[in-house]
Amino acid sequence: MSKFKEALERGKEARNQKRRGADNARAAERNVPVADFEAQARAWLDDVVVASLQAANAEVAGEVAFDIDTASDRLVKASTPSMRFEIYRKRQSENAVRRMFTVSVEVSGAVSVSAPGMVAKDVGNIGDKSDAKFRNLVAELIEEAAKGT
């Protein structure tokens, strides 16, 4: 009988430790400093977005142009980091249709690209350093700009 009681006590203690560990993990998630989120989001924007746009700009320099605005005063003061970029056709500079896009990082870490007249498109998460979704979207936007639409 005492072995049974000891096993029950060990089981209760294990459950309590597991619960305390889960509570500590949740508390740690809640107490993540905002500066860490902002730094991680800015790093993602620099590492993925700016690098992808610069690479794309080098590839299509004769046809399409990019203007990257990483330090917009309005967006720097926002609660979630974001940046803007503009894509336009080079050949008809004075009459070129310029489209301004905003890359926004949500509090959840999700990253999306939006523009006036366009539904926001999900392009990843700051926890994932993959740039595949963003590069695919930039390719689509370059094609649209090259067509002049």
> Coil, helix or strand for 99?
strand
The whole-number average pLDDT for the span 80-96 is 79
Domain ranges, ordered by start, for the chain:
1-31, 34-147
Beta-carbon contacts of residue 124 (< 8 Å; ≥ 6 apart): 48, 110, 111, 130, 131, 133, 134
pLDDT in tens, 122-146: 998 888 878 889 999 998 988 888 7
Residue 113 is predicted with a pLDDT of: 93
The whole-number average pLDDT for the span 14-28 is 66
Take residue 82 and report the two structure tokens written for it. Answer: 């974001």
Q: Are the beta carbons of 136 and 50 closer than 8 angstroms?
A: no
The torsion region of residue 148 among left (phi > 0), alpha (psi -120 to 50) and beta comes to left
pLDDT in tens, 93-110: 566 678 899 999 998 889
Q: DSSP states of 36-81 as a string? A: HHHHHHHHHIIIIIIHHHHHHHHHTTTTEEEEEE---HHHHTSSS-
pLDDT beyond 70 at 73:
no
pLDDT beyond 70 at 78:
no
pLDDT beyond 90 at 1:
no
Beta-carbon contacts of residue 12 (< 8 Å; ≥ 6 apart): none
